[in-house]
């Protein structure tokens, strides 16, 4: 049962990923991206990572891709994308980096030194262990996030704030306050941080 679901949604993930690259229309690309994100959410559910699945749907499908579409709609999709490269050697470098990432992922799936040994493999997420009840997936994630990984967590929040301030500064231009749209850039930037 689980294997069947896995293969269906793994295939769906790959079809969506291919569609993102191959679709001619940017809106169709964004929709294929949503397909990929939702399929990955199902794969998360198969791994009992319910919170991750919910966050994936809410943040990525529900907010980020919506923002993509929002921008595409505002700018319009009629403009043809030029195929000439603005940065030289962009494509070879992209291929090389992609190959490195792929090799990295394949290497890491066989090793655990980067993530640490898998904890309590085979123990049901909702079950209690000898060290006491660890709670369900959500409670476990919360406990880890606010104890062991509190420092990186807060740093990430700071990073997002810096990104928001930076995008507001860029969108408003330096010193020139005569532009008409005052609220628009800041509101979209804020919603990125909220997500």
Partner 1 sequence: MIRLFAADPLLTGDIDLTVLLIVIVKTLIIFVMLLVGVMLYIWAMRKVIADMQNRIGPQKAGPFGILQSLADGVKLFFKEQSEPAGSDHRVYLLAPYLSIIPAFLAFAIVPIGGTVSIAGHMTELQLADPAIGVLFLLAMSGIGLYGMMLAGWSSGSKYPLIGSVRASAQMLSYEAALGLAIVGVLVHSGTLSTRAIVNQQAWTGAGSIFTDWYWLPAIGAFVIFLIAALAETNHPPFDLVEAEQELTGGFNTEYTGIRFALFYLAEFMNVITMSAIAVTLFLGGPNGPGLGFVASDSWINTWFMPIFWFFLKLMVLLYATVWVRASLPRMRYDRLMDFSWKVLIESAFLWAMATGAIVVGRNEGWNLWILTPAVALGAFLIYFVLMACVPSDKELEEIR
| Helix orientation angle between 183-194 and 65-75, rounded to the nearest 10 degrees | 160
* Cβ proximity of 90 and 97 under 8 Å: no
- Tell me which stretch binds partner 1 (CB under 8 A): 43-51, 105-113, 114-122, 145-153: 43-51
Q: Is 133 in the site for partner 1 (CB under 8 A)?
A: no
Q: Is 124 helix (H, G, I), strand (E, B) or coil?
A: coil
Q: Token pair of 21, please? A: 């690259």
Quote the CA–CA distance of 144 and 146 in Å, as a whole number: 6
CB nearer partner 1, residue 27 or residue 93: 27
Which 146-175 residues touch partner 1, going by CB under 8 A? none
Bridge partners for 138 per DSSP? none
* Nearest in space to 53 (alpha carbons), one of 61, 42, 63: 42
Query: Residue 89: which region, alpha, beta or left (left: phi > 0; alpha: psi -120 to 50)?
Result: left
Figure out which of the listed residues 10, 69, 141, 171 binds partner 1, where binding follows CB under 8 A: 69
Figure out which of the listed residues 48, 133, 148, 154 binds partner 1, where binding follows CB under 8 A: 48
Which 81-120 residues touch partner 1, going by CB under 8 A? none
Q: How far is the CB of 52 from partner 1 (least distance, A)?
A: 10
Q: In sequence order, what are the residues at sequence separation of 6 or more whose Cβ sits closer than 8 angstroms to the Cβ of residue 129?
A: 120, 123
Figure out which of the listed residues 17, 46, 164, 168 binds partner 1, where binding follows CB under 8 A: 46
Q: Is 34 in the site for partner 1 (CB under 8 A)?
A: yes
Quote the CA–CA distance of 46 and 3 in Å, as a whole number: 9
Q: Is 25 in the site for partner 1 (CB under 8 A)?
A: yes
- The residue ranges that bind partner 1 (CB under 8 A) are 1-2, 5, 25, 27-28, 31, 34, 45-46, 48, 50-51, 53-55, 57-58, 61-63, 66-67, 69-70, 73-74, 124-126, 136-138, 177-178, 180, 182-183, 186-187, 190-191, 194-195
């Amino acid at each position: 049962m689980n294997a069947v679901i896995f293969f269906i949604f793994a295939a769906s993930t790959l079809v969506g990923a291919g569609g993102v690259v191959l679709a001619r229309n940017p809106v169709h690309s964004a929709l294929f991206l949503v397909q990929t994100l939702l399929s990955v959410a199902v794969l998360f559910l198969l791994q009992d990572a319910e919170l991750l699945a919910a966050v994936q749907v809410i943040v990525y499908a529900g907010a980020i891709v919506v923002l993509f579409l929002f921008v595409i709609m505002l700018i319009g999709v009629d403009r043809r994308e030029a195929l000439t490269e603005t940065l030289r050697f962009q494509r070879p470098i992209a291929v090389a980096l992609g190959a490195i990432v792929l090799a990295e992922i394949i290497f890491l799936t066989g090793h655990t030194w980067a993530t640490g040994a898998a904890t309590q493999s085979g123990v049901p997420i909702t079950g209690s262990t000898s060290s006491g009840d660890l709670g369900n997936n959500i409670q476990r994630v919360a406990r880890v996030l606010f104890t062991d990984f509190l420092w990186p967590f807060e740093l990430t929040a700071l990073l997002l704030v810096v990104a928001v301030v930076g995008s507001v500064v860029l969108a408003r231009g330096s010193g020139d306050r005569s532009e008409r749209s005052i609220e628009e850039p800041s509101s979209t930037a804020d919603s990125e941080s909220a997500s």
